[in-house]
Structures are given as C-alpha cells and as structure tokens.
C-alpha cells in the first residue's frame, strides 16, 4: 500500500466526478436555455448512458489489446475534452446532439479503466477502495454546490467554461497516475455464457436496469423541476449536494451495514427506499422538508444499491470473467437502463406531467425489488 498513488488517483476521481456534477444537474438547464424541447433534452441527457451499451466493450478490448490501460483512458479523456470544446460554437439540436454523443463516447473510457487501475493498485487491500472513491463524491459535491451559485450570478453559458476547465484537470491527473501491474487469472472452467444464462444473474441485470430507468427523470429533469417550483439554482445545488453527502456516508458505513444484514437484504431494501424517494419527489416538491428527506434516500437509491449490486457482480463473475462481467453489467444496467430512462423521461414529461413521470420511476424501482425478491438468494453464486 505504500506504493499506492493515492493523491493522483484521488485527483482523477475528483475531477471526473466534478464533470458529472456539472453535467447531470445543470446541462439540462443549458439545453433549456438554448430552446431545446423536453423530448430533445431527454434524448441528449440520455446519451452518456446510451454509449455505455457499446463503449465499455470497445475501450476494454483496446486496453486489453494494448496492455496499457491508462493510455487508452488518457486518449479517451483528451479526445472527449477536445470534442466538448465544439459546444462553444454550435447551438442547434442536431449539432449539440452529435457533439455530446461523440464526447460521451470518448469520455466513457475514463471511469471504468480508472476503476480497474485503482483496484489493481489496491490488490488485496480492495476494502480500502471507498477511501479512494470518496474523492469522486467530493468532486461531485464541489461541482453541484459551486456551480449552483455561479448560475445564480452569471448566464447559463458560464457552465461550458467550468466544464472545460474540469475536463482539462481530469485529463491532467490521468496523465499523472501510473499504470498498475496486470494480474492474470487462470483456472476458471465455467463459460461466461453459462453464467449469463443463470436466473439470478438475469434477475440482477434486469432489476439494476430498472433502477437506472427509475433515475431517468431525476437525472434529466430534477433541476428544471425544482426551478419551476420556485427554488433558486443555488438551493438546487445544495439539494444535489445533500444526496451525495448521504452517498458518502453510506460508503463509509457499508462495511458495518453488511455485517448486520445480508447483501440481498441491503440490495432489496435499496430498491424499496428508491420507490419511496421518487414518489416523494414527484408529489411533494412544494415541501422543502420532504425534498430533503427524499435526498437523504440517495444513500439507498444509489449508494447502497451500487455497492451491493457490484458485490453480486463480483460474486457471479470471478477471476478471468470479472472484467467482462463488469463490462456486460455496465452496458446493460447503466447503458440500456440509463438510455431507456432518459427516453422515458423526455417522452413522459410533457405528455403525462412531472407527477406521473416520477410515479412511473417509482414503479420501475418497485418492479426491480419484486424481481430480486423472487430470484435472488443469499450466498448464491455460479457453480
């Protein structure tokens, strides 16, 4: 652990998630300022999720072929930053759509390859992953808080300059992180196709995709929704921040939680609390107290959900299948699920209204909970 490049990894996480903290809550406001309709906003905001259907496999294949994981991540990050700069000169829906699509495809290389590098550097000390990953959450918090105040003080166009600066910093830290030694896995006899056909694995992937669908309205329209209800952009930033603070808390408390409860119980409970969260957002937005309560539930709908779902992925896909299993999980759960969530949000927002749209999100989380309840069992792993 003495050789762990802690601060370089921390910086890479911090600025990558600061970019997400700028894009997820506020880029929809930028698009709205350009005059993009709700359906178009939903389509553009879903692009980072859509590219995750294909991109993790391509970047992972390139990294395996090249043998230098971070070099591929750096190429993706720098290319994405250069493509992002085109947003300063385009404004039409089609042009913005094309730029965000290409940018998202390139930037999608950074996080999974950074995660792989971090875990390789940690080796047997993987339990300390949270102490590195927490810097990503801190970066997200810094972005959503400070940008909220910036957008209250300046025109929404300032968002592009902030995002560009953050992307440059993220690329710089990726240049500083050293490559980790490669670890070879041998001895597995079960094919990955056989693992993927098992009902518990299918149930996990489908349920996690439904959770991503459930988050579609939140990630696409939450900021617009609150501004329409009279909240200041700085207040919106603090509400996003509260959610991520609770996410950090659950990451630190997770080890104690898993000693008290099974992985299955934590995962299913996360879905149940997500159901409550989206109903509260949809129907109680006029109450700041209820919104604060809903944001604390981000600890469940993302924090404990994400950690326990990854626990099952690592359990199901071991050894030489671990990287491919993670890529397939990311593509389906976040790629397919996130894309469908953005499309659903964009199409339902104007036709059905925010209340029903968030109710549909709650229904997706509830359906995922039922799927897991029926098909996932404690201690289960592929033979």
What fold, for 1-177? Growth Hormone; Chain: A; (1.20.1250)
Rounded Cα–Cα distance for residues 308 and 129 (Å): 14
Closest of 144, 54, 178, 28 to residue 106, by C-alpha: 54
Domain 191-377 in the same topology as domain 1-177: yes
pLDDT digits 0-9 by tens, 165-183: 999 999 999 999 998 776 5
Report the pLDDT averaged over residues 216-241. 93
Report the pLDDT averaged over residues 7-35. 94
Instruction: Give backbone dihedrals phi and psi of 286, rounded to 5 degrees, phi first.
Output: -75, -10
Residue pair 192/346 in contact by the 8 Å Cβ criterion: no
pLDDT digits 0-9 by tens, 310-343: 778 878 876 566 666 777 888 889 889 988 998 8
Q: How many CB atoms lie within 10 A of CB 4?
A: 16
Q: Which class for 159: exposed (0-12), middle (13-18), buried (19 or more C-beta within 10 A)?
A: buried
Q: Which class for 69: exposed (0-12), middle (13-18), buried (19 or more C-beta within 10 A)?
A: buried
The pair of three-digit structure tokens given for residue 11, joined into one six-digit string: 């910086």
Residue pair 212/206 in contact by the 8 Å Cβ criterion: no
The pair of three-digit structure tokens given for residue 58, joined into one six-digit string: 């391509």
> Structural domain boundaries of the chain?
1-177, 191-377
Q: Please give the biggest Cα pair distance in the chain.
A: 60
pLDDT digits 0-9 by tens, 114-165: 877 777 787 656 556 667 888 998 999 999 899 999 999 999 999 999 999 9
What pTM value is reported for the model?
0.78
In percent, the amount of the chain with pLDDT more than 70 equals 91
Rounded Cα–Cα distance for residues 133 and 150 (Å): 26
Q: Which CATH superfamily is domain 191-377 in?
A: MFS general substrate transporter like domains (1.20.1250.20)
Residue pair 357/348 in contact by the 8 Å Cβ criterion: yes
Q: What is the CA radius of gyration of the chain?
A: 20
Instruction: Give backbone dihedrals phi and psi of 284, rounded to 5 degrees, phi first.
Output: -125, 30
Q: Name the residue with tokens 């490049």.
A: 5
Least confident of 163-167, 228-232, 303-307, 323-327: 323-327
Least confident of 88-97, 252-261, 268-277, 359-368: 252-261
Contacts of 304 (CB under 8 A, 6+ apart): 250, 254, 257, 266, 267, 269, 270
- Average pLDDT value for the chain: 88
Residue pair 1/125 in contact by the 8 Å Cβ criterion: yes
Least confident of 144-148, 267-271, 295-299, 329-333: 329-333
State the distance between the two ends of the chain, measured CA to CA, in whole angstroms.
33
């Amino acid at each position: 652990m003495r050789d762990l490049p802690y601060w370089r990894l921390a910086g890479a996480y911090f600025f990558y998630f600061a970019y997400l903290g700028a894009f997820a809550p506020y880029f929809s406001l930028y698009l709205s300022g350009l005059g993009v309709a709700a359906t178009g906003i939903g389509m553009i905001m879903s692009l980072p999720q859509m590219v995750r259907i294909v991109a993790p496999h391509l970047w992972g294949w390139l990294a395996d072929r090249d043998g230098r994981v971070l070099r591929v991540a750096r190429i993706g990050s720098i290319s994405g930053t250069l493509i992002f700069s085109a947003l300063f000169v385009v404004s039409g829906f089609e042009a913005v759509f094309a730029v965000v699509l290409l940018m998202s495809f390139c930037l999608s290389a950074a996080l999974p390859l950074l995660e792989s590098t971090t875990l390789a550097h940690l080796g047997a000390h993987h339990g300390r992953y949270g102490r590195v990953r927490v810097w990503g959450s801190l970066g997200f918090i810094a972005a959503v808080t400070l940008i909220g105040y910036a957008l209250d003080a300046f025109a929404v166009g300032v968002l592009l300059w902030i995002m560009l600066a953050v992307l440059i910093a993220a690329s710089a830290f990726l240049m500083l992180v050293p490559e980790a030694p490669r670890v070879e896995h041998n001895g597995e006899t079960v094919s990955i196709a056989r693992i993927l056909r098992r009902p518990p694995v299918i149930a996990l992937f489908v349920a996690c995709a439904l959770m991503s669908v459930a988050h579609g309205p939140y990630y696409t329209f939450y900021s617009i929704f609150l501004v329409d209800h009279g909240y200041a952009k700085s207040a919106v930033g603090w509400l996003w921040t509260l959610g991520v603070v609770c996410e950090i808390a659950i990451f630190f408390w997770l080890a104690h939680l898993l000693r008290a409860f099974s992985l299955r119980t934590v995962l299913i409970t996360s879905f149940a609390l997500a159901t409550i969260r989206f109903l509260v957002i949809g129907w109680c937005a006029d109450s700041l107290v209820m919104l604060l309560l809903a944001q604390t539930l981000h600890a469940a709908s993302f924090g404990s959900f994400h950690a326990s779902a990854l626990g099952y992925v690592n359990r199901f896909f071991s050894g030489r299948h671990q990287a491919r299993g993670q890529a397939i999980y990311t593509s389906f759960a976040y790629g397919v699920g996130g894309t469908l969530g953005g499309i659903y949000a964009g199409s339902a927002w104007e036709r059905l209204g925010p209340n029903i749209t968030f109710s549909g999100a709650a229904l997706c989380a509830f359906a995922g909970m039922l799927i897991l309840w029926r098909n996932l069992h404690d201690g289960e792993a592929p033979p």
